[in-house]
Amino acid sequence: MSELDAEWERRVAEAAERAGATGRADIADYLRLRAENDLARAAGVAWLLDAFTALADEALLHGADLRILRDEEHSFRVSHSTMIGSRLLLRCGQVRALNVEAGWPRAPSHGVVRGGGLARARLSHFGDRGADEELLLVKPNDEDAPRWIVVADPPDAHTRRAAPRESFDESRARAHVEKLVG
């Protein structure tokens, strides 16, 4: 967690405490929910990047020609919104690369996460756009841990039905790393 994130977390907690003390339970509840969601977002992004890092480390142990670069202050666009978060770049050989970006809007001017999620991620294979995937971090209910799902193509124009959402797990991440080093 960056110093800015820690300071933001501290200020949100103080604001929630002040709102509760002045009888503004609605604001206190909103700020607590925001803090819970930010914690879930941070955990989801960390899991995704850590999973790819562990798989890259495993590939290195098996002799892959990989370089791992991580940027903790990264931003990327999803539609009309700006996601702020982290980036993991896995380079294989001289040309191949897998870019893993994950984050969420931090300020009102950044927009929103569309699709009912908490955060977004993009997996991009340099030179093979067909292997790219867009992910959405969802938290189905208060008891469940957040999980990543693959964002399907937009609804079919004729049937107006969206494709079912598939879970994104470690086996799917492994397939991306294997494609990169394969």
Pick from 12, 18, 48, 5: which is nearest to 33 by CA?
Answer: 12
- Please tell me the predicted confidence (pLDDT) of residue 154: 54
Alpha-carbon distance of 116 to 140, in angstroms, equals: 10
Average pLDDT over residues 76-100: 95
Alpha-carbon distance of 147 to 174, in angstroms, equals: 17
- Please tell me the predicted confidence (pLDDT) of residue 123: 97
- Structure confidence by residue, pLDDT tens digits, 138-159: 987 767 789 999 997 555 555 5
Alpha-carbon distance of 56 to 131, in angstroms, equals: 18
- Please tell me the predicted confidence (pLDDT) of residue 164: 61
- Structure confidence by residue, pLDDT tens digits, 9-60: 777 778 777 877 888 878 878 878 888 888 899 999 999 999 999 999 999 9
Sequence-distant (6+) residues with CB within 8 A of 149 are 117, 135, 136, 138, 165, 166, 167, 168
In terms of Cβ atoms closer than 10 Å to its own Cβ (0-12, 13-18, 19+), residue 30 is middle
Percentage of the chain modeled with pLDDT above 90: 60
- The more confidently predicted of residues 109 and 30 is 109
